[in-house]
Amino acid sequence: ETGVTQSPTHLIKTRGQQVTLRCSSQSGHNTVSWYQQALGQGPQFIFQYYREEENGRGNFPPRFSGLQFPNYSSELNVNALELDDSALYLCASSLVTNTEAFFGQGTRLTVV
Amino acid sequence: AQTVTQSQPEMSVQEAETVTLSCTYDTSENNYYLFWYKQPPSRQMILVIRQEAYKQQNATENRFSVNFQKAAKSFSLKISDSQLGDTAMYFCAFAAPNAGGTSYGKLTFGQGTILTVHP
């Protein structure tokens, strides 16, 4: 049990809609990173948040946005959903100076 | 940009035997970390082992050990005495500090190797 929790576990949305995924980081961790994992592939880095600001971003369009709250929990927002956004979304928490990231169980998003 | 390549899409091994998973990477960084993560059907990514690039000694965690060849940019995982619970997708991953050297943010993952342990 790593202490990183994500909600919801599964979600079905229609193309064009907007979605918000949530992540509660492990106690004491000040950094949250989000990854997109397509079926049968490795996770791809979306972005990282530290001290409520974006601290690095992968090759994802601006319709992928995030927030980090004072308690270090985080949200991933995706606007104008596309079919290719269907994936497992993983959240990982860590200390900003530490390489060891602890992952949640992910949110499976299906866009129809 | 860093890349991580796992050339074995699937591997299988008999229980109690030894198996080695391969990984190569490409980077111009000199200071970085390499990882092996395990992702069972429960989907939760679990850290198996971590190697610091500046350490020549190969990391070991119980039945798991790595063969880190920095010059060849190779990082293989050896699982000894394989157990049924080792059945999972295994990912090799890379992390380097950000431009300011103040944080390790982005993990770059390989495509994964599905390992099946047979009884």
In angstroms, the first-to-last Cα distance of chain B is 41
B69/chain A closest Cα distance in angstroms: 20
Q: Note the pLDDT tens digit of each residue in A36-75.
A: 999 999 999 999 998 899 988 999 999 999 999 998 899 9
- Say yes or no to pLDDT of B104 above 80: no
Mutation for testing the A interface, residue in B10, B29, B107 having most A CBs under 10 Å: B107
- Please give the average per-residue pLDDT across B5-16, as a whole number: 97
Phi, psi dihedrals of residue B99, rounded to the nearest 5°: -60, -35
- B-chain CB neighbours of A97 within 8 Å are 102-104
Q: 């039945």: which residue's tokens?
A: B63
The rounded distance, in Å, linking the Cα atoms of B83 and B96 is 32
Mutation for testing the B interface, residue in A99, A102, A103 having most B CBs under 10 Å: A99
Q: Note the pLDDT tens digit of each residue in B39-85.
A: 998 888 999 999 999 888 999 999 999 999 999 999 999 999 999 99
pLDDT of residue A55: 87
The band of A1, judged by pLDDT with boundaries at 50, 70 and 90, is very low
Q: 């679990």: which residue's tokens?
A: B46
Please, which residues 90-109 of chain A have a Cβ atom closer than 8 Å to chain B?
Answer: 90, 92, 94, 96-106, 108
- Say yes or no to pLDDT of B35 above 70: yes
Q: Which of A35, A41, A55 sits opposite B111 (nearest CB)?
A: A41
pLDDT of residue B117: 97
Q: Note the pLDDT tens digit of each residue in B13-28.
A: 999 999 999 999 999 8
The band of B103, judged by pLDDT with boundaries at 50, 70 and 90, is low
Residues B106, A58: C-beta atoms closer than 8 Å? yes
A26 contact B CB<8A: no
B49/chain A closest Cα distance in angstroms: 10
- Say yes or no to pLDDT of A14 above 60: yes
Q: Which of B4, B44, B110 sits opposite A103 (nearest CB)?
A: B44
Cross-strand partners of B68: B75
The band of A95, judged by pLDDT with boundaries at 50, 70 and 90, is confident
The rounded distance, in Å, linking the Cα atoms of B4 and B35 is 11
Mean pLDDT of chain A: 93
Q: Note the pLDDT tens digit of each residue in B73-101.
A: 999 999 999 999 999 999 999 998 776 66
